[in-house]
């Protein structure tokens, strides 16, 4: 390999795929809010394999199961294994943390280095018995240690709950309730470039000073806020891709399923399946 070719390869970005809010249930192909969440996840994964087959990491940020059942986590594992990519997962408010860790094992490691220049730090923002999020002292310490030992790597921080409101005129009672603790740590660490989350079932892309703040559509059903009320959004599910460059910059976008095809295959109330 020539030195020029090696240098070109060295400059190629790392590619991360973000999936979130799968909401599988114990019974295969059970529906939730009129959606076959398992079929919907399968459709999103087929699109990932077609469009981004050589990604460096697949990151799933919580609500993998709606009911916390072991059967749901085992099916999530089988489906994600078909992507033939390294996988990391963290829990959401609908997950059973112990069951998720038991069934997904090494996929739950909180710190993962991706490519030559990036580190992914996963935080558990779940609170037992609550849909809202909180980072306890152990999670803040985990973040501080992961950043302290990141060296010259740029850092992406992932969690389930949104640390900022997705609608400025809407009170979000289920977001991270101590976001100031997160941002206090990040303010002292300029190598943190991205904060990435799920939970809101919609796309979000903003900046907070030097931080890129990103949320991703669910692989299941989508939410919107209309007239001050939380409601279902009929748009198709999808995933987010992120290209992470050596200099700390990034490119990102959301890919959604074809709406008509998704409704026909995954929304029984819209297009009943043949007997």
Q: For the whole prediction, is pTM greater than 0.75?
A: yes
8-state DSSP, 162: -
Q: Which residue has the tokens 């749901």?
A: 72
Give yes or no for a contact between 266 and 40, defined as CB atoms under 8 angstroms apart: yes
From residue 202, alpha-carbon distances to 213, 215, 216, 218, 230 in Å are 13, 7, 6, 7, 12
Q: Which fold has domain 13-261?
A: Purple Acid Phosphatase; chain A, domain 2 (3.60.21)
Reported as a pLDDT band with limits 50, 70 and 90, residue 5 is: very low
Give yes or no for a contact between 175 and 132, defined as CB atoms under 8 angstroms apart: yes
| pLDDT tens, position by position, 20-57 | 999 999 999 999 999 999 999 999 999 999 999 999 99
| pLDDT tens, position by position, 157-180 | 999 999 999 987 778 899 999 999
pLDDT at 144 over 60: yes
Reported as a pLDDT band with limits 50, 70 and 90, residue 227 is: confident
Domain extent listing, the chain: 13-261
Q: What is the pLDDT of residue 2?
A: 52
């Amino acid at each position: 390999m020539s030195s020029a070719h090696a240098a070109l390869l060295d400059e190629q970005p790392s590619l991360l795929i973000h999936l979130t809010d799968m909401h599988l249930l114990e019974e295969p192909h059970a529906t939730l809010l009129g959606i076959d969440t398992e079929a919907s996840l399968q459709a999103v994964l087929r699109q990932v394999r077609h469009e981004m087959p050589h990604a460096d990491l697949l990151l799933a940020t919580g609500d993998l199961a709606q009911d916390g059942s072991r059967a749901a986590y085992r099916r999530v594992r089988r489906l994600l294994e078909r992507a033939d990519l390294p996988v990391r997962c963290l829990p959401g408010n609908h997950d059973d943390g112990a069951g998720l860790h038991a069934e997904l094992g090494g996929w739950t490691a909180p710190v993962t280095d991706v490519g030559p220049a990036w580190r992914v730090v996963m935080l558990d923002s779940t609170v037992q018995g609550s849909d809202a999020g909180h980072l306890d002292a152990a999670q803040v310490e985990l973040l501080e240690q992961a950043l302290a030992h990141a060296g010259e790597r740029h850092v992406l921080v992932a969690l389930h709950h949104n640390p900022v409101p997705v609608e400025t005129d809407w009170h979000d009672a289920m977001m991270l309730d101590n976001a100031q603790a997160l941002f206090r740590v990040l303010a002292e660490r300029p190598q943190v470039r991205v904060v990435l989350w799920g939970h809101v079932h919609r796309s979000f892309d903003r900046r907070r000073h030097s931080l890129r703040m990103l949320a991703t559509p669910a692989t299941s059903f989508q939410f919107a806020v209309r007239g001050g009320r939380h409601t279902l959004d009929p748009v198709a599910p999808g995933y987010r891709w992120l290209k992470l460059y050596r200099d700390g910059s990034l490119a990102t976008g959301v890919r959604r399923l074809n709406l008509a095809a998704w409704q026909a295959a995954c929304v029984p109330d819209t297009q009943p399946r043949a007997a």
